[in-house]
């Protein structure tokens, strides 16, 4: 095959070692292949970079093996080399011939012939923000699990408060549960209920008329303390995220004009895709990268399953959350969802809305313009909001009286 990159290298990445193969052309129009093994400690990574520079490598290719490739990638890019991280699915070796040496040689051979393409890798600042937003996502899921354990423990003790109020984790439910754990009387506990709770006080007292055992109290106090600890960590982390989002403040504010997008979800989107849409090529490409577009599976003229493929899990999750919030507002996404849910069901319709959202986000960030919903009358909203104030000012300065006299 035709040579595209004259001097290139393939790296098979592992936790404690990397196998590096350099493939380069020599003056006699022959190809020289050199393979060496390096440990993954900092000093050894520097020796690896010196080895690549010594052979004047133009392109370095490695697989995205877990998180082990990140330190290797950082070392290579700081030396001014050109590293590519490729999808392991796109460079799968021939079965039965898989060793560390052959894997690195195969990567170098593919790069030599120009048969691979790089994956999207965020810049170091964006990578730091991504670390914070992904850790926050873990904390949110941990808090949700702990709240479910609290609810399950209450049910196990015979307390059926969760059957009378819509959300036991809401403000009213939390006040009553905390008072119950602290051993307050039933009358005091019931008085902490919000006026919007539909159940009457007798029902609430009956649902909590149960003696908690010492073991249940120990578990409930432990879970409550853990929830408070995780919630405090989440608040501190969100402050750090909002401070770290300042370099992308314009894009962050643009994303918040979309229905269903909050401050944290906008920060998460920035951490995952950045604000430079040129690196994706187009809205179809970014939807495919996120794993939200329908799959292509056709053979002999028959269209088979269009199941979406695996993509960026974090962006898929956050876009589904945004879609779930957007379909509850008066916007085009609500109408789209209502037309799909009858035929497709809730989950598939939600993926379709997420697919539409990622394309809209691409357009917003590329054109640097806020979102304008085609189904919303912005002029009418502005008039309804400001008309009383306008009328008051017209009356204050006498214009309203003059207008009525003229009429």
Structure confidence at residue 401 (pLDDT): 65
Rounded distance between C-alpha atoms, residue 279 and residue 252, angstroms: 18
Sequence ranges of the domains in the chain: 8-112, 125-245, 248-296+306-367
| Segment 262-272, tens digit of pLDDT | 999 999 999 99
Strand partners, 84: 61
Structure confidence at residue 406 (pLDDT): 56
For the record, the structure tokens of 396 come out as: 């204050």
3-class SS string, 223-269: HHHHHHHHHHHHHHHHHHHHHHCHHHHHHHHHHCCCCCCCHHHHHHH
- Which band of pLDDT confidence, cut at 50, 70 and 90, is reported for residue 261? very high
The answer, yes or no, to whether residue 136 has pLDDT greater than 60, is yes
What pTM was estimated for this model as a whole?
0.83
Question: For the residues 67-76, what does the mean pLDDT come to?
Answer: 91
Strand partners, 23: 8, 33
| Segment 181-199, tens digit of pLDDT | 988 888 888 888 888 888 8
Which region holds residue 185: left if phi is over 0, alpha if psi is between -120 and 50, else beta? beta
Rounded distance between C-alpha atoms, residue 142 and residue 227, angstroms: 9
- Which band of pLDDT confidence, cut at 50, 70 and 90, is reported for residue 405? low
**Does residue 200 or residue 322 have the better pLDDT?**
322
- Which band of pLDDT confidence, cut at 50, 70 and 90, is reported for residue 45? very high
The answer, yes or no, to whether residue 251 has pLDDT greater than 80, is yes
Structure confidence at residue 313 (pLDDT): 86
Q: Name the residue among 95, 92, 72 with its Cα closest to residue 83.
A: 72
Top CATH class, 125-245? mainly alpha
Q: Name the CATH topology of 8-112.
A: Nucleotidyltransferase; domain 5 (3.30.420)
Structure confidence at residue 215 (pLDDT): 94
Rounded distance between C-alpha atoms, residue 36 and residue 38, angstroms: 7
**Does residue 258 or residue 379 have the better pLDDT?**
258
CB 60 within 8 A of CB 54: no
Question: For the residues 156-179, what does the mean pLDDT come to?
Answer: 86
Contacts of 383 (CB under 8 A, 6+ apart): none
Query: Where is 48: in which H helix or E strand?
Result: helix 42-54
Structure confidence at residue 53 (pLDDT): 93
Structure confidence at residue 218 (pLDDT): 94
The answer, yes or no, to whether residue 319 has pLDDT greater than 90, is yes
CB 2 within 8 A of CB 113: yes
């Amino acid at each position: 095959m035709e040579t595209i990159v004259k001097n290139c290298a393939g790296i098979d990445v592992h936790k404690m070692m990397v196998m590096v193969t350099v493939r380069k052309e020599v003056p006699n129009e022959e190809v020289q292949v050199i393979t060496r093994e390096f440990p993954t400690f900092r000093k050894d990574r520097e020796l690896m970079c010196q080895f690549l520079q010594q052979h004047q490598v133009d392109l370095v290719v490695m697989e995205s093996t877990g998180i082990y490739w990140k330190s290797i990638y950082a070392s290579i890019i700081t030396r001014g080399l050109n590293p590519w991280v490729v999808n392991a699915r796109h460079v799968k070796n021939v079965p039965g011939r898989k060793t560390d040496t052959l894997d690195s040689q195969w990567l170098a051979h593919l790069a030599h012939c120009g048969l691979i393409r790089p994956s999207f890798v965020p810049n170091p600042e964006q990578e730091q923000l991504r670390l914070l937003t992904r850790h926050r996502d873990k904390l949110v899921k941990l808090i949700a699990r702990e709240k479910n354990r609290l609810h399950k423990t209450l049910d196990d003790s015979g307390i059926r408060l969760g059957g009378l109020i819509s959300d036991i984790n809401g403000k009213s439910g939390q006040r009553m549960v905390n008072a119950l754990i602290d051993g307050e009387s039933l009358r005091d506990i019931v008085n902490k209920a919000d006026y919007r709770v539909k159940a009457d006080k007798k029902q609430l007292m009956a649902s909590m008329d149960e003696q908690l055992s010492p073991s249940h109290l120990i578990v409930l106090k432990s879970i409550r303390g853990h929830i408070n600890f995780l919630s405090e960590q989440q608040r501190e982390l969100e402050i750090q995220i909002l401070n770290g989002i300042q370099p992308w403040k314009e894009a962050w504010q643009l994303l918040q004009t979309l229905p269903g997008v909050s401050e944290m979800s906008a920060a998460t989107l920035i951490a995952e895709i950045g604000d430079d849409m040129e690196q994706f090529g187009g809205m179809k490409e970014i939807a495919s990268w996120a794993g939200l577009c329908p799959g292509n599976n056709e053979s002999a003229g028959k269209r088979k399953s269009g199941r979406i493929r695996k993509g960026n899990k974090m962006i898929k999750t956050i876009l589904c959350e945004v879609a779930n919030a957007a379909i509850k507002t008066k916007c085009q996404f609500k109408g789209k969802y209502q037309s799909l849910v009858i035929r497709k069901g809730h989950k598939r319709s939600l993926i379709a809305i997420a697919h539409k959202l990622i394309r809209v986000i691409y357009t917003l960030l590329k054109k640097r313009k806020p979102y304008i919903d085609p189904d919303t009358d912005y002029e009418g909203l502005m008039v309804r909001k400001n008309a009383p104030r306008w009328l008051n000012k017209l009356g204050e300065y006498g214009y309203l009286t003059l207008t009525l006299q003229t009429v």
